[in-house]
Structure 1
Amino acid sequence: MDSFLGAQLKLMPEMSDLLQKRYRILQTIQLTKGIGRRVLGEQLSLTERETRKELDALRTQGLIEVSREGASITAEGNEVLTELKEVVRLWSGRSQMELMLKKYLNIKDVIIVPGNVDNDTNTSMLLSQEAAKYLESILLNEHIIAVTGGSTIASISHAMTESSRWKDLLFIAARGGVGKDVRLQANTIASLFASKMNGSYRTLYIPDRLSEEAYMTMKKEPFIQEMMDLYERTNIIIHGIGDALEMAKRRNSSDEEIELLRSRGAVSESFGYYFNNQGEAVHHIRTIGVQLNQLQHIEHLLAVAGGAKKANALISYFKQAPLQTVLVTDEGAANEMMKVIPKNI
């Protein structure tokens, strides 16, 4: 930690808690755009008196405005959030957790946002914003970007800055459809990214699971072979990581298959592969899409998943994840993962 910041904390240790509290209030107001005092207090577990006091302080400093529609952030408030971001990361301990998790999971980087998606919808927005920011930092012209499905990945497309500065970006579906909600399938999400980033997209309109006969037949189709070639040339993959049994239920797996997953100790799922506590693939859905062995040569892998409930799934998946993976997660998942990290790491 910076020596000046360290000295400040020794002199006034209560300053850290107050700064983090006001920063989180300001951040929540920025995300929600017109939030009422009661709802704000409920989201941040503050009493009505405490909420009123902090809102008055922020308004006096010109960081927020309060109207009938609720509290909204000012331009100066936005500047303060930007300037204090790194300080708050240091004082909150997230910076140190990121370094420890990066080493423990043996991956390129870990980015942790405040909160827990299990009980705070604003945290989902923060996950999306950080993932979008990272993606924008690595994008180059003519990149091929494969995306998986799910609400988390879909929300990243909404958080991207609409721009025409990139040329010839191609977004492709990393697999066929999963679940009944078309809006959250990889095909739709690829089109959303392309629309936002002035790019094009390619879809993969086939079932998520295929019989062996259908699988062998589909592999011979020219458009499938073309997609497989695109996967080999993909520069970036954006994907989620799920709880094994939860994902199996979303796929309407049979009772027999779910029991098979239980018996084999399946904990996590990604790309249609189910992994146990040791990171070993114990089951695989027969499907057309990105295959596990293709991940090793992908330049950038961006994994986005949060929530304390996903901690075990994350640890399971990262037992075998490629080194070039960057994980964007939240404090809920990070705090749970920290419980199993050796103290001498």
Structure 2
Amino acid sequence: MTQGQIAKRLGVANTKAHRLIARASREGLIRVFVEAEVAACIRLEDELADRFGLNFCKVAPDLAEPGLPLKALGLAGATFLKNEIERGEHALIGVGHGRTLAAAVGAMPQIAGGRTRFVSVLGGFNRRFAANPYDVIHRLAERTGAEAYQIPLPLFANTAEDKAVLLSQPGVAEVFELACSASLVVAGIGGMTDDASLLSNHMIGPEEMALLRGSGAVGELLGHYFDAAGRVVAESFSERALAPAIAHLRASTVVAIAGGREKVEATVALLRSGVLSGLVVDETTAAAILGEATPD
């Protein structure tokens, strides 16, 4: 790889990559070797990026975790977030919530946030009016010392009219406008399975999940739903979501952190939608995605 390619792969500025390479060479710290599993991850990254037109893709090596690979995704997601904060190219970063994002923030070291601010990009309260156990915005603020803002509302309003009333409240509208203006958005991908976090966190009920499945939805991103071909569905349902509209997401850089066998179908749908600019995924899931998604 060239120096520029290395910088892009690591998510750091070219100048920083140059300094690191020069210092390592000068001090005799460089040792070149190839590990088969790492090389396999790089091939998966390249293939995913090429097939789905991604600007960024990181495949975390398989750590033989049972179930959801939270450790692998957490380490890879933490590295991505840390690099983006240190690069300082995004003054405002929007974050979702969920298990994978919580794992990523949990694996982050204490770093200075600099000029970066963070904002939640969807409401985070469930129907029991308790804080979402996987909310990450406060943990991210603690890790970085940066300013952080949360939308103090549930994920869904009862109606689109109720949503308008909620967003008209003092203080709420300002935070929501921030969420819609984030230049980088980092979020998880939701599935439509019986153990989906939307159900387990009581953000929607079984009847609503049945309606979403009936519309053809197989994947969710920030309150928006997509069918297997990547088309937006259940738009009347998404109009109730306290989250940026699809148009705002398409105007931003959206990077998803997702993994696990149950998320393969949902992740393929989001990759086909064209909404994602980047993806952090584990090795096993990446291989399954490529095996399931045939080229257009």
Alpha carbons of 1:199 and 1:248: their partners in 2 closer, same or farther (altered >3 Å)? Answer: closer
Asked if 1 retains the 8 angstrom alpha-carbon contact of 2:254 and 2:278, the reply is yes
> Structure 1: how far apart are the matches of 2:267 and 2:101?
16
Partner of 2:55: 108
Question: Once the 2 structures are TM-superposed, how far is the Cα of residue 223 of structure 1 from its aligned partner?
Answer: 1.7
> Which has the higher relative contact order, 1 or 2, with Cα contacts under 8 A spaced 6 or more apart?
2
Partner of 2:215: 264
Partner SS state of residue 338, structure 1: helix
Alpha carbons of 1:175 and 1:85: their partners in 2 closer, same or farther (altered >3 Å)? Answer: farther
Partner of 2:21: none
Partner of 2:199: 249
Paired residue type of 1:307: G
Partner SS state of residue 269, structure 1: strand
Question: Once the 2 structures are TM-superposed, how far is the Cα of residue 316 of structure 1 from its aligned partner?
Answer: 0.7
TM-score (norm: length of structure 1)? 0.66
Question: Once the 2 structures are TM-superposed, how far is the Cα of residue 111 of structure 1 from its aligned partner?
Answer: 1.2
Partner of 1:326: 278
Asked if 2 retains the 8 angstrom alpha-carbon contact of 1:157 and 1:193, the reply is yes
> Structure 1: how far apart are the matches of 2:49 and 2:223?
25
Paired residue type of 1:134: F
Alpha carbons of 1:220 and 1:341: their partners in 2 closer, same or farther (altered >3 Å)? Answer: closer
Question: Unaligned stretches of 5+ in structure 1?
Answer: 2-81
Question: Once the 2 structures are TM-superposed, how far is the Cα of residue 241 of structure 1 from its aligned partner?
Answer: 0.3
**182, 185, 196: which one aligns with 1:237:** 185
> Structure 1: how far apart are the matches of 2:259 and 2:63?
7
Residue 280 of structure 1 pairs with residue 231 of structure 2? yes
TM-score (norm: length of structure 2)? 0.76
Partner SS state of residue 156, structure 2: coil
> Structure 2: how far apart are the matches of 1:266 and 1:335?
23
Partner of 2:73: 127
Q: Deviations over 1:68-87 (max 9, x none)?
A: xxxxxxxxxxxxxx967863
Paired residue type of 1:259: A
- Identity in percent: 21
Asked if 2 retains the 8 angstrom alpha-carbon contact of 1:149 and 1:184, the reply is no
> Structure 1: how far apart are the matches of 2:157 and 2:131?
18
**Aligned length, in residue pairs:** 257
Paired residue type of 1:220: S
Residue 226 of structure 1 pairs with residue 174 of structure 2? yes
Which structure has the larger Rg? 1
Alpha carbons of 1:341 and 1:207: their partners in 2 closer, same or farther (altered >3 Å)? Answer: closer
Paired residue type of 1:340: E
Name the one with the larger helix percent.
1
Partner of 1:336: 288
> Structure 2: how far apart are the matches of 1:267 and 1:117?
26
